[in-house]
């Protein structure tokens, strides 16, 4: 069980933002944080890992206090059993792939686990190569493997599969699920890939301007989101009068659509106006686009 | 035949200075690269002072400080039995101060250029700051370390003003090559002066060339 309750003022390019998170995460679950860039996802991960200090709050992981600002407890990153796959991989260029993994081993930890990881991540041929020459996808696999080495209480994955091709991504998603079940890992994930989120997550938390705007199972959250209005921005390119109503032609991107405007409102619109057209999506028909 | 003593003394001084500077330069550079302390600008200024200060100014103040007629020099002499004026030990101390920025600055900028995530990834893996420094940070700034070592070494070889002020011209003790050259020119022995100069020229040229050649090879290896 992870209890998070943290507040931190962050300086962002859009001014100061207050990151304020209060949530509980069950052990052995995968929870995904989803939201626009700058919403505070990575900062939240850094605070859990102890790389960034919150202004106030507490973090309790499996009944061990990692942070309690009132009691002035703030464990160093070294003392928190966290695995972190960084978005930019953070591999050590002076070491080979295997040395990178071995570096993450704890004292007296069995080397054999590294062999398993090397096989699972298909790093066999690369293991004695320096990391500088690897491709983005290969680096990402090494970074994920390295975060798994120490069998952490909390595994923080910051877009761990974004640079992979589809086949490898699906394979590693399966592997993450497998290893998560085997070791009962608690995984916190940042992802923008809806398919990935649906496949991996037990829960999804939507982060907006530093706070959780929605939390629940992925299907619940996405369903709720899709109930919202569809809003499209467009421009009026023509208005025609037909008996007692007006028909406006609106250009949206490269498409046009026609919609009726009541006589009482037509005086508010003219050709060339930029408008926003909203509609509720009720039972839309979905069809695969022809290639 | 030239007297090799001044040349040997020069290289001995440069070698000792460089080794000590490497040991004290790394922690100073580390602190300057990562500290958020308010006194950091002050420390940076102090470390960089020898870059702009005339060597004679530095030499003069060291001379005053180390002089047994002053409190500090007197204390050194009476309590520790150390005399730093006109001795090789004094030259080493003066050289350490004089060449400090040449060791610290390349290492500092090397550390600053490394992505913060390298350090953080190591911390998250439970590694201490010291282990991180030696296993992750320093191995990834080898070029900066090499530059620091060579610049500090070469700069110490090129010392003149500081040595003259604090070391004087005692054969076998403080008479380094640059002083010997000056000495020979004053005595109008241009041939001997030329021999010393040529040796210094060739050696420093070879050292620098070796460094640039190896640095380029390192770059090529990484960019492959």
- What CATH number does residue B90 fall under? 1.10.3720.10
Q: Does A118 share its domain with A253?
A: no
Tell whether the model's pLDDT for residue B219 goes beyond 90.
no
Q: Does the pLDDT at position B224 exceed 60?
A: no
Are both A208 and A243 inside the same structural domain?
A: no
Q: What is the ipTM, given to two decimal places?
A: 0.80
At A229 the pLDDT is: 61
Question: Does A103 contact B at CB distance below 8 Å?
Answer: yes
Q: Tell me whether residue A285 is in a domain.
A: no
Show the low-confidence residues of chain A (pLDDT under 50). Answer: none
What are B68's two structure tokens? 């047994």
In a domain, B224, yes or no: no
Nearest-angstrom CA–CA distance, A110 and A166: 32
pLDDT of B221 above 60: no
What's the domain range around A234?
230-278
Q: Is B112 exposed, middle or buried (0-12, 13-18, 19+ CB in 10 A)?
A: middle
What range does the domain containing B102 cover?
5-216
State what percent of residues in chain B have pLDDT above 70: 96
Q: Which of B123, B125, B224 sits opposite A103 (nearest CB)?
A: B125
- Structural domains in chain B (count): 1
Coil, helix or strand at residue A55:
coil
Does A155 touch chain B if contact means CB atoms closer than 8 Å?
Answer: no
Instruction: Say if pTM beats, i.e. exceeds, 0.95.
Output: no
pLDDT on residue B220: 60
Q: How far apart are CA A272 and CA A192, in angstroms?
A: 36
d(CA A225, CA A35): 13
Q: How far apart are CA A92 and CA A101, in angstroms?
A: 10
CB-CB neighbours of A234 under 10 Å: 20
**Confidence (pLDDT) at B132:** 96
Render pLDDT for B123-160 as a digit per residue (tens, 0 to 9): 999 999 999 999 999 999 999 999 999 999 999 998 88
Residue B85: pLDDT band by 50, 70, 90 thresholds? confident
pLDDT of residue A227: 56
**Report for A206-215, B85-94, B112-121, B206-215: range of highest mean pLDDT:** B112-121
Q: Give which of A94, A96, A98 is closest to A113, Cα–Cα.
A: A98
Q: A66 at the B interface (CB within 8 A)?
A: no
Nearest Cα to A91, choosing from A145, A48, A47?
Answer: A145
CA-based angle B39:B45:B46, to the nearest 5? 90
Q: Has residue B104 got a pLDDT over 80?
A: yes
Q: Contact at 8 Å (CB) between B160 and B169?
A: no
State the total domains in chain A.
Answer: 2
Q: Which of B115, B122, B125 sits opposite A88 (nearest CB)?
A: B115
Q: CA A121, CA A164: separation in Å to the nearest integer?
A: 12
Q: Does B36 touch chain A (CB under 8 A)?
A: no
For residue B223, being part of any structural domain is answered with no
Q: What angle do CA B21, B24, B26 make, to 5 degrees?
A: 100
Does residue B180 fall inside a structural domain? yes
Higher pLDDT, B199 or A288: B199
Q: Is residue B36 part of a domain?
A: yes
Interchain CB distance below 8 Å, B124 and A103: no
A193 and A59 in one domain?
Answer: yes
Give me the pLDDT at residue A282, please: 65
């Amino acid at each position: 069980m992870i209890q998070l309750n943290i507040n931190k003022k962050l300086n962002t390019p859009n001014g100061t933002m207050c990151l304020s998170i209060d949530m509980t995460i069950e052990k052995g679950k995968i929870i995904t944080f989803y939201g626009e860039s700058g919403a505070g996802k990575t900062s939240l991960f850094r605070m859990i890992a102890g790389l960034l200090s919150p202004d106030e709050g507490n973090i309790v992981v499996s009944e061990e206090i990692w942070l309690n600002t009132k009691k002035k407890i703030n464990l160093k990153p070294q003392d928190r059993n966290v695995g972190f796959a960084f978005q930019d991989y953070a591999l050590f260029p002076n070491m080979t792939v295997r040395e990178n993994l071995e570096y993450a081993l704890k004292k007296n930890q069995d080397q054999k686990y590294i062999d398993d990881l090397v096989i699972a991540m298909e790093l066999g041929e690369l293991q004695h190569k320096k990391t500088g020459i690897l491709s983005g996808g290969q680096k990402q696999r090494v970074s994920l493997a390295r975060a798994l080495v120490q069998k952490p209480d909390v595994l923080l994955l910051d877009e761990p599969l974004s640079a992979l091709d589809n086949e490898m991504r699906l394979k590693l998603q399966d592997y993450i699920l497998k290893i998560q079940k085997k070791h009962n890992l608690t995984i916190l994930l940042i992802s923008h890939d809806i398919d990935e989120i649906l496949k991996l997550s037990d829960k999804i938390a939507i982060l907006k301007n530093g706070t959780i705007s929605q939390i629940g199972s992925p299907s619940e959250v996405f369903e709720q989101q899709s109930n919202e209005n569809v809003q499209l921005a467009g421009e009026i390119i023509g208005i025609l009068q037909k008996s007692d109503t007006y028909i406006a032609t609106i250009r949206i991107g490269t498409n046009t659509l026609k919609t009726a405007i009541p006589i009482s409102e037509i005086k508010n619109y003219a050709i060339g106006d930029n408008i926003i057209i909203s509609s509720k999506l009720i039972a839309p028909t979905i069809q695969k686009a022809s290639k | 035949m030239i007297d090799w003593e001044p040349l040997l003394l020069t290289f001995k001084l440069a070698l000792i200075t460089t080794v000590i500077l490497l040991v004290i330069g790394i922690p100073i550079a580390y602190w300057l690269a990562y500290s958020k302390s308010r006194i950091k600008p002050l420390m940076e200024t102090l470390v960089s002072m020898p870059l702009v200060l005339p060597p004679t100014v530095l030499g003069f103040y060291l001379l005053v400080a180390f002089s047994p007629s002053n409190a500090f020099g007197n204390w050194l002499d009476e309590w520790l039995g150390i005399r730093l004026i006109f001795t090789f030990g004094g030259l080493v101390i003066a050289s350490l101060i004089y060449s400090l920025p040449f060791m610290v600055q390349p290492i500092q900028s090397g550390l600053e250029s490394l992505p913060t995530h390298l350090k953080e990834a190591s911390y998250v893996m439970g590694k201490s700051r010291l282990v991180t420094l030696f296993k992750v940070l320093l191995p990834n700034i080898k070029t900066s370390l090499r530059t620091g070592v060579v610049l500090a070494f070469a700069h110490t070889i090129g010392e003149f003003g500081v040595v003259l002020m604090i070391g004087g011209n005692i054969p076998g003790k403080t008479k380094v090559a640059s002083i010997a050259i000056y000495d020979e020119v004053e005595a109008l022995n241009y041939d001997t002066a030329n021999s010393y100069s040529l040796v210094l020229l060739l050696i420093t040229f070879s050292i620098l060339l070796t460094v640039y050649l190896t640095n380029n090879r390192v770059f090529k290896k990484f960019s492959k």
